[in-house]
Structure 1
Amino acid sequence: MATKSDFTAEEWGQVLGSVMMAGMAVTLADPSGLIGMTKEGLASGSALVAAKSDPNANALIKSVVSDFETSEGRSAARSAIQGKLSGKSASEMKPIILEALAQAGAIVDTKAPDDAAGFKTWLHQISDRVANASSEGGFLGFGGVQVSDAEKATLDEISKALKLTA
């Protein structure tokens, strides 16, 4: 069972950053205004809370969640994200995020093979949770669709980046 100590500081930062990037990719796919973005941000955070109390979460997920509870862990995640996305436009960010998710997936495949599938599935679940957090294309919460075509396409791209699908 993998924990933080199985990774270098840089690798661990990438793993932590992937948790936040999993939700960011979907938000960038189809921004849904201030309220929608707030709901999507909360959905990403609630995935951490849910994993903390999930007795079936693997050791790597538990270690990530535990590290997010510290200022050092949150800082490492932010640093990993800023290092990749600083100065980039929204349209430039999505491919960078997908590549970062692929890199994080490769890291956990190598360093935590027993926990990798569960961790990568969890990242995808975070993305899915964000996609379902807010309706797209409606007005004041009415109408629209729960998950837009752009979000569905991004969820597929995330699956491929994490090698969850062929």
Structure 2
Amino acid sequence: MSLNYTEEELNLLANTPHIIGSAMAFTGSSGLFGTGKEMFVNAQAVMAGVKDYPHNALIQAILPHVQEGASEAMEKMKKVRDWGVERYKAKGVTSAEKFQDAAVEDCRAIADLLAEKASEQEAAEYKQWAMTIAEKVAMATTEGDFLGFGGERFSANERALFTRIQDAFGVTTLLA
């Protein structure tokens, strides 16, 4: 398989789904345990791309494949994570709001990149995968509850970020 992307572009494509989930997790007020659960769901949803999109060459190329070797998969994930951390540090991302803004900016850049280089199906599936990650993280816990009672599953802040990401990708989903 030959993808026509630079290493920088592949890093952006690999890092952004995780960033979307992280931004969604830090948007609400789920508390320590709720945010922890959201981050766990984020990792699961990102890795689900391997099995959910088996024929999407782009998604398969950017995700680590544990069955090909755990150490290689971990090294690939670490490389992308380190790239993303350095990139966000260089952008001066120091707050949840700046993190959200940077995530949305990356989604816009990816929408442009996919329009230029991906097939229509690859682009649609990548965006669907990314939006599914955002939705799963948002729905992982309730916010505004007391001792587990009450609260809302998809908070106003999460809905606002979801809409911004959706708009950046130029997609419409049933959730927002």
TM range (shorter): 0.7 to 0.9
- Residue by residue over 1:12-54, the C-alpha shift from the partner in whole angstroms, topping out at 9 and shown as x without a partner, is 1111111111112212321311111111111111113322223
Q: Is the 8 A contact 1:51 1:57 kept in 2?
A: no
Output the TM-score relative to the length of structure 2.
0.81
Q: Is the 8 A contact 1:102 1:162 kept in 2?
A: yes
Identify the range of structure 1 (119-128 vs 141-150) with the bigger mean alpha-carbon deviation.
141-150
1:95 corresponds in structure 2 to 101
Match of 1:83 among 68, 87, 93: 87
Equivalenced residues, count: 163
The structure number with the bigger radius of gyration is 2
2-side partners of 1:139 and 1:96: how far apart? Answer: 32
Query: Residue 20 of structure 2 aligns to a residue in which SS?
Result: helix
2-side partners of 1:78 and 1:25: how far apart? Answer: 17
1:108 corresponds in structure 2 to 114
Residue identity opposite 2:97 in structure 1: S
2:76 corresponds in structure 1 to 72
Query: Residue 48 of structure 2 aligns to a residue in which SS?
Result: helix
Displacement, 1:81? 4.0
**Residue ranges of structure 2 left out of the alignment (5+ in a row):** 67-72
The answer as to 2:163 corresponding to 1:156 is yes
2:137 corresponds in structure 1 to 130
Cα distance change of structure 1 residues 48 and 28 upon mapping to structure 2, 3 Å threshold = closer
Identify the range of structure 1 (11-20 vs 28-37) with the bigger mean alpha-carbon deviation.
28-37
Q: Is the 8 A contact 1:15 1:104 kept in 2?
A: yes
Compute the RMSD of aligned alpha carbons.
2.2
- Residue by residue over 1:66-103, the C-alpha shift from the partner in whole angstroms, topping out at 9 and shown as x without a partner, is 36934134322431243125552222221111101211
Query: Residue 64 of structure 2 aligns to a residue in which SS?
Result: helix
Residue identity opposite 1:116 in structure 2: A
2-side partners of 1:57 and 1:44: how far apart? Answer: 22
Residue identity opposite 2:88 in structure 1: K
Residue identity opposite 1:15 in structure 2: L
Q: Is the 8 A contact 1:17 1:78 kept in 2?
A: no
Displacement, 1:55? 5.7
Q: Is the 8 A contact 2:38 2:138 kept in 1?
A: yes
2-side partners of 1:142 and 1:105: how far apart? Answer: 39
Output the TM-score relative to the length of structure 1.
0.86
Structure 1 stretches (4+) deviating beyond 3 angstroms? none
Cα distance change of structure 1 residues 87 and 117 upon mapping to structure 2, 3 Å threshold = closer
Q: Is the 8 A contact 2:53 2:125 kept in 1?
A: no
